[in-house]
Amino acid sequence: MWPTELYTADGGSSIARVGGVDPIETIGSLGPLGRFGLGVAAVVLVAVVVLGLLHGYGNRTVRKCRRSPVISFCFGAPSALVLGLLTAAGVLMLGTEVGVFFGVPLVVLSATVFPTVTAIGLTAIGQSIAARAGQDRLPVGILVGGLLGGVAALSVPTAIVIGGIGAALGTGASVRILLGAGGAADPDERTIPPANQI
């Protein structure tokens, strides 16, 4: 079985069909309550796994996203757009001769990065909302972010808006943390000028 045959039952290259089943049709066939529950479960599961495995990085990213959401959005919107274009290019390459070699890594990279940064962004939004109610804790932010994910799963337009904002915020904060790691902005890395040393 070639890698392109993993995506469809007939051996085509449509990424939307996994094992002969179209996940979008399956989710669309659920009722509103089922889609809401699936959205909540997906966001909470990804956020718990990501923030649990990447504890220091995840917490710093959520804090950075909450402290300066406009800057994170300005960094993240183009970054998420580039990531989306790479995904589309990977899907298009799957139908060509060299597509398996170049397309599959792009699709796998995007399928790994997009849910991660979207969960981080929704968690940051959820924690900001929860902080307004007096509960400024990360677990509460994960649950409120999961509720936002459930609302996003109700229809395609809300999924595009909420998911896009979450992906842009999470991508921007992640890029800012990765580019700013170990710089002078880190209090542990600051040096004292010789004239001010005691």
pLDDT band at 13 (very low <50, low <70, confident <90, very high): very low
Residue 150 CB partners (closer than 8 Å, separation 6+)? 35, 36, 37, 38, 39, 40, 43
pLDDT band at 196 (very low <50, low <70, confident <90, very high): low
CA-to-CA separations, 166 to 1, 18, 45, 163, in angstroms, rounded: 36, 25, 16, 5
Written as six digits, the tokens of 158 are 């809300």
Query: Residues 94, 111: contact at Cβ < 8 Å?
Result: no
Give the CA count within 13 Å in the CB-facing half-sphere of 149. 27
Q: What is the pTM of this model?
A: 0.77
pLDDT digits (tens, 9 = 90+) for 83-131: 888 888 888 888 777 777 888 888 888 889 999 999 999 999 999 999 9
Q: Return the pLDDT at 194.
A: 59
Q: Is the pLDDT of residue 162 over 80?
A: yes
Looking up tokens 């085509």 gives: 12
C-alpha–C-alpha distance, residues 182 and 179, integer Å: 9
**Per residue in 17-27, is it b (16+ CB within 10 Å) or e — as a string?**
beeeeeeeeee
pLDDT digits (tens, 9 = 90+) for 20-66: 666 777 777 788 898 899 999 999 999 999 988 888 888 888 988 88
Least confident of 54-58, 133-137, 155-159, 180-184: 180-184
The larger pLDDT score, comparing residue 184 to residue 160, is at 160
